[in-house]
Structure 1
Amino acid sequence: MRKTNQLKIGVMLSYVSMIVQNIITIVYTPVMLRLLGQNEYGLYQLVYSVVSYLGLLNFGFGSAYVRFYSRYRVKDDQEGIAKLNGMFMIVFTVIAMIALLAGGILVSNVNNLFSKSLTVSEIDTARILMLLMVINLAISFPSSVFDSFVTAHECYFFQRVISLLQTILNPFITLPLLLMGYKSVSLVVVTTILTVSKFIINYWYCTKKLKLKFIFKNTPISLLKEIGVFSFYIFINMIVDQINWSVDKFILGIFGGTTAVAIYAVGGQINTMYMSLSSSISSVFIPRVNKIVAMDENNNKELTELFTKVGRIQFIILAMVIGGFIVIGQYFINVWAGNDYNNAYYVALLLIVPVTVPLIQNLGIEIQRAKNMHKFRSIVYFFIAIGNVFMSIPLVQLFGEIGAALGTCLTMVLGNIILMNWYYQVKIKMDMKYFWKQISMLMPCVIVTVLLSLGLSKILVVNSIIHFLIIGIFYVCVYVMCLFTFGMNTYEKNLIRGPINKILKRGQT
């Protein structure tokens, strides 16, 4: 399959997978919440937030693979690629063993971690959950070598189909187990089985179809050192992400208990779905960015144009979602999760509003890495994340789950928005004035649509499914018409016209 077709199919399947994932989340989550109960769900989220810290043992090596693979591929150095594969497999196998050891220490200390906020039975369940999650994580480390190889080959069709199948199978297998009364343990068992299955399928595809080869001898130490230096700052960034998206639940688990964790987790689930809208499209451009930089590191004009083009598309999608959530999100949370999760609306807003800026600039992360200029971002984010911890502790004690989200919000504005946009302009040499000028052309449509919809919601109060649907449909129709008429450029309009014209032509034949 041609690379251009792979790219188009990759984007399409990314959004199909994302839509399916979000539909499943919307339908499955309320069922899961009611079957598990608020405390059991909070316990599951709490343990997951603790074990996820072991994912930091990746040390950023996974993100480094595509960059160094591109270097060898440009030179058609097959032996170099095989040595690179062998080195990464050795590194990740060692990391997996370290994860098992560290996980064993965590499991044996569950009581010491949460004795003040969990009951005896909850501690017993937490111990089982933690053990299974550690095993699942350890398996995922060597599996990531095959994932990275598929990404580097731009085989998006295979990659997205596997991801889509995993997304669909998880709830369909888990739900019957929950109905049989197996509670949160069943969630982790099913996830582990699917992780092992994906590992086996990826291994077969890479070795049989993509002819993946490993050379474990004569690995150049200089290459390992270079990758280590490159990955170190990605590792710092991983720590930052882990702190920003997991530490709140950990702090809430200590000071607030499982109920506060559950409420925050529902708001966090909205944030996760929101973030997936952006990463689905930007991820398929990673190899292209690395190729542009590999051929000409100073080609900032082409990078800025690609950065802006992708950013505008991401903003169009994200702005529609965030505007709609502002208008009818409160009612959605109450119906979806229940009245006990009312504060999840405010948690979600405090997370998704500031994260919108870094999401539409996701491709910039790959540009930094391709240029090997991600050091600044990692260091700044590290200190911002530490500030988030110190800010969140008193805010949690004062405002509970809303305080936790507020701490993340404030630090994100400073680091992700203000400092990073300065860095893109001054150091990376991206034309950020051009970028924001292009984004600002879309803003009037968003503001007008939200204000009109809020005005309608004052007349037609959102207190029933019918009113929810009426205002939701009104919002989407006004947004699309306004944007298509006044906001979109020719390229963006053609992205919509193209598929519609093809469908109409097929209908006429």
Structure 2
Amino acid sequence: MNQLKIGAVLSYISIFLTNIIALLYTPYLLRMLGQSEYGLYSLVASVIAYLTVLDLGFGNAIVRYTAKYRVENRQEEQYEMFGMFLILYIGIGVFALLIGLGLYFNVDTLFSSSMDYDEIRKIQIMMLLMTLNLAITFPFSLFGSIITAYEDFIFQKLINIARIILNPLVMVVMLNMGYKAIGMVVVTTLFNIVTLLINYWYCCHKIKIKIYFRRFRWDFFKEISIYSFWIFLSAIVDRIYWSTGQFILGIYYGAAVVAIYAVAIQFQGIYMGFSSAITSVFLPKVTALIANNSDNKIISDLFIRVGRIQYIIMSFILTGFILFGHSFIKLWAGDNYGESYWITLCFLIPLTIPLTQNLGITILQARNQMKFRSLLYVLISMFSLSISIPLAKYYAGIGCALGVSVALIIGQIIIMNIYYKRKIGIDIPRFWREIAKMSLIPLLLGICSYIILSQITLDKPLYLGISIMIFSVLYIFLFWYWGLNAYERQLLLPLRNIYKK
């Protein structure tokens, strides 16, 4: 329980640090790199992100089955499973390297119509470095999953916090020395390798795991493949949602438009991170609940309890961004990035509900019931892609964002809520009643704040900062007295006692 609570708190600390550092560091980065160079870096990162789906969902499988084996005290099978996954990941790493090399040799074919020779050369170098980084990451990612399964969240989160702080500091030095996007890729690769080696050391010397290469259990491999396949499809969908836009815009418009879209994707990633911070530590616990045959009432209570706390955070961020986001982006990134505000809104508004219900995904993983969600998301993402391409031709980044937004509303809100209620047994009507009551405060505060802010010009950081501070104080005050229930008011620390025995 201490690992769970402290791990969740450290998750929020890491998110807080990530966002604060991003606020300070990204404007400097944008100005040092320039819009074109930043667009090139974002484009390559989005292309390489597709190769991360080659994990095939095995990371979640390691966490689930390790937690299951620990509950059942099946240590020998656990160590055999680690050996099997290490072999699989080595093969995946080699395969990712081959695909990456294929992309490296075809960069000019993909982007020659919108990029010049110098831009294509930089893309090739970054793509090669990122591919090598990914090929190394796959085998060593086994150890990060093991640490999660053993619920050693404190160590894992502290390492992540150290990386969050050190990475931009080194980047600033590199940028001041004249290195640009390629230098950033080199630094990121080095930090990644060091983190992977630390995870390996921790597993071997602290958790004291063993890896057995005794036999390849084909029956077990078939079982985990079925489980992992649906998570793999979900990963593909995520890549279609959040990486395809840069690729499409890179083909039709070039690096500058990609940079504008990439800023919006950065805000989307931050927004999603605030939600996943809680649910990321719950898979082992939910798996244990399922293994102990806990009834739907217990699962629903946990779903709603976590969802309420997530909604408090998500509605605060969303309302604040609607009110202050446009002024903030223009001051933060520059006047050339004003369109990023509208693209970001296309993402954040429909994302709010599925992010509030993120624990539902964890429940599906624990119950090995990812099939429907994964198939649904594949179909919806294909629909999103089919309308995003023509919309992008006419409306650039806004067009891509609208295609994603429509898919999110249909698939992740409407259809999945019906599925959670009818097939999983979660009390969705009660969830929506709770959310409806909580929504009055951000809605009324947002309307009143908009009327007042329409009379003010937030063109200076001081004015913007004071306005955000006043809004934040009012939001916290109103929610404390009229939005929280008695249990939530008793929370002495973030996320304390979310999970009850």
For 2:261, which of 259, 264, 283 is the aligned residue?
264
Q: Is the 8 A contact 1:59 1:234 kept in 2?
A: yes
Partner of residue 372, structure 2: 376
Q: How does 1:402-421 map to 2 (within 5 A)?
A: 402-421=398-417
1:115 maps to a residue whose letter is S
Of 65, 74, 79, which residue of structure 1 is paired with 2:76? 79
Instruction: Write the mapping of 1:106-125 to structure 2, written as runs, cut at 5 A.
Output: 106-125=103-122
Q: Residue 388 of structure 1: which of 384, 408, 418 is its match?
A: 384
| Residue equivalent to 2:58 | 61
**What code does the residue aligned with 2:299 have?**
L
Partner of 1:507: none
Q: For residues 88 and 494 of structure 1, do their structure 2 counterparts lie closer, same or farther at Cα, with a shift above 3 Å needed?
A: same
Give the letter for the 1:393 counterpart. I
Q: Distance in 2 between matches of 1:470 and 1:151?
A: 40
Taking the aligned partners of 1:277 and 1:18, their CA distance within structure 2 comes to: 7
Which of 284, 300, 303 is the aligned partner of 1:304? 300
Instruction: Give the deviation of 1:111 after TM superposition.
Output: 0.9
Q: Is 1:278–1:359's contact at 8 Å kept on the other side of the alignment?
A: yes
Tell me which residue corresponds to 1:320: 316
Quote the sequence identity (%): 43
- The answer to whether the aligner puts 1:217 opposite 2:219 as a matched pair is no
Which of 468, 472, 475 aligns to 1:472? It is 468
CA contact (8 A) 1:453 1:474 kept: no
- Asked if 1 retains the 8 angstrom alpha-carbon contact of 2:67 and 2:149, the reply is yes
Alignment correspondent of 1:104: 101
Say whether residues 1:234 and 2:231 are aligned partners. Answer: yes
CA deviation profile, 1:90-147 (whole Å, cap 9, x unmatched): 1111100111111111111111111111110000000000000001111211121111
The separation in 2 between residues aligned to 1:465 and 1:253, in whole angstroms, is 32
Cα 1:160/1:497, change in 2 over 3 Å? closer
Q: Give the equivalent residue in structure 2 for 1:127.
A: 124
1:153 aligns with 2:150: yes
Structure 1, gaps ≥5 residues long: 501-509
In structure 2, C-alpha distance between the alignment counterparts of 1:478 and 1:449, rounded to whole Å: 8
TM-score where L is the length of structure 1: 0.96
Tell me which stretches of 4 or more aligned residues in structure 1 moved more than 3 Å.
496-500
Q: 2:173 aligns with which of 176, 191, 203?
A: 176
**Counterpart secondary structure, 2:424:** coil
Matched, 1:424 2:420: yes
Q: Is the 8 A contact 2:279 2:362 kept in 1?
A: no
Structure 1 contact 278–360 (Cα < 8 Å) conserved? yes
Determine the C-alpha separation between the residues in 2 that align with 1:126 and 1:498. 42
TM-score (norm 2): 0.97
Secondary structure at the aligned position of 2:368 is classed as: coil
* Structure 2 segments unaligned to the other structure (5+ residues): 497-501
Q: How many residues align?
A: 496
Report if the CA contact (8 A) 2:35-2:259 is conserved.
yes
**Once the 2 structures are TM-superposed, how far is the Cα of residue 497 of structure 1 from its aligned partner?**
7.7
Q: CA deviation at 1:461?
A: 2.7
Q: Supply the AA of the counterpart residue of 1:401.
A: G
Whether the 8 Å contact between 2:69 and 2:78 is mirrored in structure 1 is yes
Contact map agreement 1:460 1:467 (CA 8 A) in 2: no
DSSP 3-state at the match of 1:134: helix
Relative to structure 1, is the Cα distance of residues 447 and 496 closer, same or farther in structure 2, using a 3 angstrom cutoff? farther
Instruction: State the distance in 2 between where 1:243 and 1:68 align.
Output: 28
Aligned to 1:401: 397
Q: Which of 476, 484, 488 is matched with 1:492 structurally?
A: 488
Q: For residue 464 of structure 1, report the CA deviation from its aligned partner.
A: 2.2
TM-aligned CA deviation for residue 469 of structure 1: 2.2
C-alpha distance after superposition, 1:313-372 (max 9, x if no partner): 111011111101111111100011000000000011111111111111111101011111
Q: Deviations over 1:302-322 (max 9, x none)?
A: 111111111111110111111
Distance 2:133 2:449 in 1: 45
Contact 2:9 2:495 in 1 (8 A): no
Structure 1 position 499, deviation (Å): 11
Partner AA of 1:188 in structure 2: V
Q: Distance in 1 between matches of 2:269 and 2:41?
A: 17
Of residues 73-82 and 491-500 in structure 1, the stretch that sits farther from structure 2 once superposed is: 491-500
- How much is the aligned-residue C-alpha RMSD, in angstroms? 1.4
Say whether 1:50 aligns with 2:86. no
> Which amino acid in 2 is paired with 1:387?
F
Residue of structure 1 equivalent to 2:287: 290
For 1:190 and 1:328, the matched residues in 2 are separated by 33
SS of structure 1 residue aligned to 2:215: coil
Does structure 2 retain, via aligned residues, the 8 Å contact 1:392–1:403? yes
- Residue 148 of structure 1 aligns to a residue whose secondary structure is helix
Q: Deviations over 1:379-400 (max 9, x none)?
A: 0000111111110011111111
On the 8 A contact 1:274/1:318 being kept in 2, the answer is yes
